[in-house]
Amino acid sequence: MQTLYVVYLDRHHLGDELFLKSMAQHFAEGASGEPACLLVHGSGEKVERTLESKGYFPERTDGVLDLDTEEQRRLVERAVRETNQEIVATLTDEVVSTVGIQGVDRNLLGLDEDGQITATNVGWMAALLKQRVVPVVSALVKQENAGTREVWGADVVVALAQALSSSFDPVACGFTTSDQPGLRDATGMKDEVGADILDTADEIPEPDALRRIHRAGVPLLITNVQGLLGGEEPQGTRLQGAD
């Protein structure tokens, strides 16, 4: 089956307009729909600035802001939706076939009885991917009788990878902050490393998110935009089997 790269856009990269522009240009320069990619994001620096402007300074637990009021929840939801629209607009400006998808659209994302993120009704998304479209999915879910809230993008990556595994071979992808397509040591670029690298690699902006994805058993590639999109096939450093 075709490989699908489920890309986790961390907060560091979401807040970097030059990075998003570069990513869009790399998509535009490559063959349409190659490699097949799905982008996942949650709230980035935009939502933190929005909350701070209102006098709120919440902490994060498992990558998600701890919110105390309904006003805060509404601000976060609005900022996540706007972030989705901005990513899609950046891709569209480079004539990349893309579609923005909020996690609540078509009941795509939900919560099971144990509070775990689930992805259902993904056939339409698989069809988009096979039409060489790049979906951009926000980490918003609808709670029964409790409105919409943000969840951890890492959990969304896992849920979508599992749900789409009947149509693709999903590989999760995390970006480094370096100009190298992967991780390297004194001996050079590494094709594969153990998960303990997540404890020490300074160029990984959200190691906890990648650790969550890895422990769920989803294959994980650590690279940069050039490594993912700049060659005939994606290059990077793979994490060895899940713990």
Structure token digits, residue 138: 């926000």
Q: What is the pLDDT of residue 146?
A: 66
Task: Check whether 242 has a pLDDT greater than 70.
Answer: no
Mean pLDDT within 101-107: 92
Q: What is the pLDDT of residue 148?
A: 86
Structure token digits, residue 44: 């980035």
Q: What is the pLDDT of residue 178?
A: 87
Judged by phi (left if over 0) then psi (alpha if -120 to 50, else beta), residue 220 lies in: beta
| Cα–Cα distance, 234 to 212 (Å, whole number) | 22
pTM beyond 0.75: the answer is yes
At the fourth CATH level, the homologous superfamily of domain 3-239 is Acetylglutamate kinase-like (3.40.1160.10)
Structure token digits, residue 174: 């995390």
Q: What is the distance of C-alpha 134 from the center of its chain? A: 12
Beta bridge partners of 175: 223
* Residue among 12, 3, 2, 4 nearest 175 (CA): 12
Helix H or strand E encompassing 174: strand 169-175
Quick count: other Cβ atoms within 10 Å of Cβ 153? 31
Task: Check whether 200 has a pLDDT greater than 60.
Answer: yes
